[in-house]
Amino acid sequence: MDRETIRAEMWHELTSKFIFEGMVEPKKKQIKECIAHLGFSKDFEQYAWQRISEHTLGYRTPRIPYLLEALMFEGERIRLDEKYETLEEKVLYALLEHLRLEKVAK
């Protein structure tokens, strides 16, 4: 087994017990700004916000949990986007890229 596979297995084991470093609470305005920065369409903005706003984990507002170098969205492990500086940006841009690829695949 390679190192990344072992890390992913350990990550899944911890997150299955709901152990995270923290959570990002995305706001609609933040998502809109990120999408504008990436040059994506209004249609994608609506799609992304709808998907993100449903991810509440039992809270009133959407939350994206993260642990180490990855975030969890709908049970999936998504690596943070290390091109950005702040943790919040790393989480949001990685999530938006994941949703973009998901939408293209449909």
Q: What is the pLDDT of residues 77-89, one digit of tens each?
A: 999 999 999 999 9
Bridge partners (DSSP) of residue 16 are none
pLDDT attached to residue 46: 96
Residue ranges per domain, the chain?
26-105
pLDDT attached to residue 20: 94
DSSP E strand stretches across the chain: 22-24, 64-67, 70-73, 76-79
The model's pLDDT over 24-61, given as tens digits with 9 standing for 90+, comes to 999 999 999 999 999 999 999 999 999 999 988 888 99
55 and 74 Cβ atoms separated by less than 8 Å: yes
Minimal CA–CA distance to 31: which of 62, 72, 71, 6?
A: 62
Global pTM value: 0.90
